[in-house]
Amino acid sequence: MEKMNHICQLAPYCKVAGKDGFCNALCNPFILLHGEGTNGLWKATNVPRKYTNSFFHNLPIKEDNPVAYTFTKAYTANILENVENGVGLFFYSIPNGDNRLGTGTGKTTTAVAILHEYLLERVKQQSKGGRVIETNPALFYKASELQTLYNSQFRGTFDMQEKASLRYYKVKNLLMNAEMLVLDDIGIRQKITDAFENELTEVIDSRDSKVLMTIYTSNLPIEKLADTVGDRIASRIEGMTEQVSFKGKDHRKGGIL
């Protein structure tokens, strides 16, 4: 039977990775993490392909953001306990002359690295007979995508609206219950509607009440966040997170030449 260590994200930690009779498509942890190869919990995180290989060991922020790096190192060293205790994080940018919007500083990459580290630890935990995974351990969602999905309920034909509504409420339920959630780029839009603000408040408040861990990334510091998402949301985020700043040049710029 074909060995699976070349695609299994658990391989670096696994004693039987690459061993005949063990490392194959019948391995319990492999099926849990990857399904029949390209699915499972790994795909269910909704992490964009660009960030597939983001882990702590290859995190490219040490030079520009040594404090954030050290903090992340400490957080991931005890990640199961930190997430279970609902210790949330708020990653925001400090703009400078070269990077006036504070973009591309590694916030999302760091958030996804923490998400991946947690997911692997949870799969290892269950596989060893520990706490059973009953809902999404880790989920990534862009705040702007959520708003677009919310708005799609009111666009197009009746059938399209009905389908979009089903989708929206399913996603909302996942966002409210995932053990760890990365809500990316919150506050990116200039102003959100009152109706969507209510929805977002419900999600965030629910997670806060259930002591579920959330990582928010934003280009705005917490004191300015209220201008775009409202005071209620900003206040809740402040209360449920540790704030970590990111600075430096925009690493998205550069191109291939």
- Return the number of the residue (21 or 97) whose C-beta is nearest another protein: 21
Ordered DSSP codes for the chain? ----TTT-TTGGG-TTTT-TTTSSTT-HHHHHHHTTTT-HHHHHT---GGGTT--GGG-TTTTT-HHHHHHHHHHHHTHHHHHHTT-EEEEEE---SS-TT--SSSHHHHHHHHHHHHHHHHHHHHHTT-SPP-S-SEEEEEHHHHHHHHHHTTSS-HHHHHHHHHHHHHHHHHHHH-SEEEEESTT-SS---HHHHHHHHHHHHHHHHTT-EEEEEESS-HHHHHHHH-HHHHHHHHHHEEEEEE-S--TTTT---
Please state the closest distance from residue 57 (CB atom) to another protein, in A. Answer: 17
User: Is the CB of 171 or the CB of 176 nearer to another protein?
Assistant: 171
Residue with Cβ nearer another protein (50 or 167): 167
Quote the least distance from Cβ 11 to another protein, whole Å.
Answer: 10
**Residues found near another protein in the complex (CB under 8 A):** 1, 10, 13-16, 22, 25-29, 31-32, 35-36, 39-41, 43-44, 46, 124, 127-129, 133-137, 139, 163, 166-167, 170-171, 174
What is the C-alpha R_g of the chain? 19
CA dihedral 69, 70, 72, 77 (to 10 degrees): 140
Nearer to another protein, 163 or 247 (CB): 163
Query: CB 175 → another protein: shortest distance, Å?
Result: 10
**Least distance from another protein to the Cβ atom of residue 62, Å:** 27
Complex with another protein: residue 121 or 197, whichever CB lies closer:
121
Report in angstroms how near the CB of residue 8 gets to another protein at its nearest: 11
Nearest to 199 by CA among 162, 140, 136, 148: 148
Supply the minimum distance, in Å, between the C-beta of residue 86 and another protein: 20
In whole angstroms, how close is the CB of 124 to another protein at the nearest point? 5
Nearer to another protein by Cβ, of 40 and 60: the residue is: 40
Which one, 184 or 219, has the nearer CB to another protein? Answer: 184
